[in-house]
């Protein structure tokens, strides 16, 4: 079995296609359930963010799983597979682990180094655990990815040079509005990204901070945390008329901010709208209103050659590259350690079967000894049994250690196959000697 990732992101697909394949929480869980029920998949997890949709799977076969996952993704999103295929990427085994760990560090995001992805990974992991779609591969893998992401932010200078989507938007807004100090701001939505927006606006010193959400209770919690004011959803038009800056990120599938909700002219008091949602919350024609500036995810994507937002808030290019080199080194080390651990674990069932086979041989010989020497005392018989066990342990100790060492660096499993061949161990028998899945809490 092998780890497989099939997906598309802002690096492989245009935003209009990403909007079409965006899935809400319910549909993501339905897709994961469908994938885990496929013939060539044993575990699955679906990750959907504002700029990516990815399916992670533990595949029983590579080609079969790729075809089945791609077909499931097309059916779940309603996008024809022929339209999806040119934009899909497939990562396998080591490359899949490297992709996930880099993703957790914010290295694959539109805004380089952003930390919002950790919350999105945590939510996807929790959903997979609750729905029992994870087992001994994806569950520990994603928990490790979260730890790697946290290390990148605590052990490197990533936070010093990284820019989030919200931060990039506020920088642009300040260029239009002047200082944000004293500005009237409105946050539409109350999810994780909206929480980050509210916190950033509060730190920027805005004059008023309004929170508006369809579910008032969630808006109240967000407002309380950041000294904001709660508005009813029916007050959206009024809020748009009085705000200087609007950040919107809802889970709506249709446009929330439309042309008819805006005044005819905002020239005298400019309005900046930052649309962080996917699909977009703001209708395209809203930007046609004089004095209204609208930026979406594509606009917040920086001018970097690799398609990631630049790190304007940190040091210069040299410092940024130095920090990124440290993060890449961290990821490479974590990937190597994870793969070594996983490969070593693969030899476990074979070693367990080898020890079981050796113990069975010893038991048979001890039984024959009992029949040939029935007059042995209990103490003598126990001493013989203990001696035989010690001999077995000493004989098997070095091969066990060497087998684990070889397996840690064995990408194709050839050393495990050789061990089974040498001792005539049936692969089906050894596969049955496994440990039940352990699903632990989130880190």
Determine the Cα–Cα distance for residues 183 and 208; give it in Å rounded to an integer. Answer: 7
What's the pLDDT at 162? 60
Q: Nearest 5°: phi and psi at 436?
A: -60, 145
Tell me what pLDDT residue 164 has: 64
How far, in whole angstroms, is CA 438 from its chain's centroid? 19
pLDDT at residue number 437: 37
Question: Does the predicted model carry a pTM greater than 0.75?
Answer: no
Q: Is 105 a catalytic residue?
A: no
Residue 50 has pLDDT above 80, yes or no: no
Residue 409's alpha-carbon distances to 234, 275, 345, 434, in angstroms, are: 61, 47, 12, 21
Between residues 235 and 50, the one the model is more confident about = 235
Phi first, then psi, for residue 167 (nearest 5°) are: -60, -40
User: Over 50: is that where the pLDDT of 306 sits?
Assistant: no
Find tokens 């010690």 and name the residue. 390
Torsion of the alpha carbons at 367, 372, 374 and 378, rounded to the nearest 10: -50
Identify the pLDDT of residue 15: 79
Greatest CA separation for the chain: 109
> Taking a C-beta distance cutoff of 8 angstroms, is the pair 183, 177 a contact?
yes
Q: Has residue 20 got a pLDDT over 60?
A: yes
Q: Which of 3-7, 225-229, 399-403 has the highest mean pLDDT?
A: 3-7
**Mean pLDDT along residues 35-58:** 92
Q: What is the mean pLDDT of residues 233-261?
A: 92
- Of the two residues 405 and 151, the one the predictor is more confident about is 151
Which residue among the candidates 21, 50, 247, 323 is catalytic per the annotation?
Answer: 50
With both helix axes pointing from N to C terminus, report the angle between 192-204 and 116-130 in degrees, rounded to the nearest 10: 150
Q: For residue 301, what pLDDT is reported? A: 59
Of 358, 417, 418, the C-alpha closest to 391 is 358
Whether pLDDT at 265 is above 60: yes
**Which segment of 70-79, 102-111, 426-435 scores lowest on mean pLDDT?**
426-435
Two tokens at 388? 């035989």
Give pLDDT tens digits for 135-166.
Answer: 989 999 999 999 999 999 999 988 776 656 78
pLDDT class of 194 with cuts at 50, 70, 90? confident
Q: pLDDT by residue (tens digit) across 102-134?
A: 999 988 876 677 787 898 999 999 999 999 999
H or E segment to which residue 230 belongs: strand 229-231
41-49 β-sheet, strand order: 41-49, 52-59, 2-9, 89-92
Reply yes or no on whether the pLDDT at 319 is more than 80. Answer: no
How high is the pLDDT of residue 339? 86
- Determine the Cα–Cα distance for residues 21 and 117; give it in Å rounded to an integer: 18
pLDDT at 412: 63
pLDDT given for residue 431 in this prediction:
45
Cis preceding-peptide flag for 139 (omega within 30 of 0):
no
Residue 178 has pLDDT above 50, yes or no: yes
Where does the pLDDT of residue 304 fall: very low under 50, low under 70, confident under 90, or very high at 90 and above?
very low
Helix 414-422 crosses helix 378-408 at what angle (to 10 degrees)?
150
| Backbone conformation region of residue 403, classed left if phi is above 0, alpha if psi is from -120 to 50, else beta | alpha
Residue 166: the pLDDT is 83
Q: Give the per-residue pLDDT at 179.
A: 84
Surface-to-core class of residue 46, CB atoms within 10 Å of its CB (0-12 exposed, 13-18 middle, 19+ buried): buried
* pLDDT for res 111: 66
Looking at residue 3, its pLDDT comes to 93
Residues 35 and 69: their CA atoms lie apart, in Å, by 6
pLDDT band at residue 245 using 50, 70 and 90 as cut-offs: very high
- pLDDT score of 442: 42
3-state helix, strand, coil in the chain (%, to 5): 55, 15, 30
Backbone angles phi, psi at 386, to 5 degrees: -65, -40
Task: Give the C-alpha distances (Å, rounded to integers) separating 29 from 34, 35, 55, 441.
Answer: 9, 10, 11, 19
Q: Residues 417-435: what's their mean pLDDT?
A: 62
pLDDT tens for each residue of 409-422: 666 667 767 777 77
CA distance 54 to 297: 18
Q: Is the pLDDT of residue 191 over 80?
A: no
What is the pLDDT at residue 197? 87
Indicate if the pLDDT at residue 272 is higher than 70. yes
Is the per-residue pLDDT at 7 higher than 50?
A: yes
On whether the CB atoms of residues 278 and 266 are closer than 8 A, the answer is: no
pLDDT value, residue 432: 44
Beta bridge partners of 3: 58
Give the pairing type, strands 208-212 and 184-188. Answer: parallel
User: What percentage of the chain exceeds 70 in pLDDT?
Assistant: 87
pLDDT at 397: 86
């Amino acid at each position: 079995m092998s780890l497989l990732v099939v997906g598309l992101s802002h690096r492989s697909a245009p935003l209009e296609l990403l909007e079409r394949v965006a899935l809400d929480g319910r549909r993501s869980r339905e897709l994961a359930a469908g994938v885990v029920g496929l013939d060539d998949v044993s575990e699955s997890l679906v990750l959907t963010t504002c700029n990516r949709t990815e399916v992670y799977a533990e595949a029983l076969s590579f080609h079969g799983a790729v075809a089945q996952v791609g077909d499931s993704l097309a059916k779940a999103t309603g996008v024809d597979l022929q339209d999806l295929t040119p934009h899909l990427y497939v990562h396998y085994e080591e490359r899949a682990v490297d992709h996930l760990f880099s993703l957790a560090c914010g290295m694959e995001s539109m805004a380089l180094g952003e930390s919002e992805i950790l919350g999105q990974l945590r939510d996807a992991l929790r959903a997979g655990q609750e729905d029992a779609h994870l087992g001994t591969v994806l569950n520990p893998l994603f928990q490790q990815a979260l730890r790697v992401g946290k290390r990148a932010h605590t052990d490197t200078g990533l936070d010093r040079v990284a820019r989030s989507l919200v931060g990039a938007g506020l920088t642009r807004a300040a260029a239009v509005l002047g200082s944000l100090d004293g500005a009237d701001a409105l946050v539409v939505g109350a999810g994780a990204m909206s929480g980050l927006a509210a916190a950033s606006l509060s730190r920027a010193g805005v004059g008023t901070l309004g929170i508006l959400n369809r579910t008032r209770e969630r808006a109240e919690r967000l407002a309380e945390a950041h000294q904001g004011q709660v508005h009813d959803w029916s007050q959206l038009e009024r809020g748009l008329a009085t705000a200087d800056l609007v950040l919107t990120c809802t889970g709506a599938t249709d446009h929330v901010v439309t042309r008819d909700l805006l005044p005819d002219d905002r020239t005298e008091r400019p309005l900046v709208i930052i649309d962080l949602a996917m699909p977009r919350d703001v209708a395209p024609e809203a930007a046609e209103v004089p004095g209204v500036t609208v930026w979406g995810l594509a606009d917040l994507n920086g001018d970097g050659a690799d398609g990631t937002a630049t790190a304007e808030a940190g040091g210069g290019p040299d410092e940024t590259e130095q920090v990124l080199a440290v993060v890449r080194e961290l990821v490479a080390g974590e990937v190597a350690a994870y793969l070594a651990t996983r490969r070593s674990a693969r030899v476990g069932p074979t070693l367990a079967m080898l020890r079981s086979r050796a113990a069975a041989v010893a038991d048979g010989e001890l039984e024959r000894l009992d029949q040939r020497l029935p007059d042995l005392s209990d103490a003598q018989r126990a001493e013989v049994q203990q001696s035989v066990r010690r001999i077995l342990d000493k004989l098997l100790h070095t091969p066990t250690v060497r087998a684990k060492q070889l397996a840690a660096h064995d990408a194709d499993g050839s050393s495990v196959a050789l061990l089974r061949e040498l001792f005539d161990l049936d692969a089906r028998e050894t596969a049955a000697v496994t440990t039940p899945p352990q699903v632990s809490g989130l880190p």
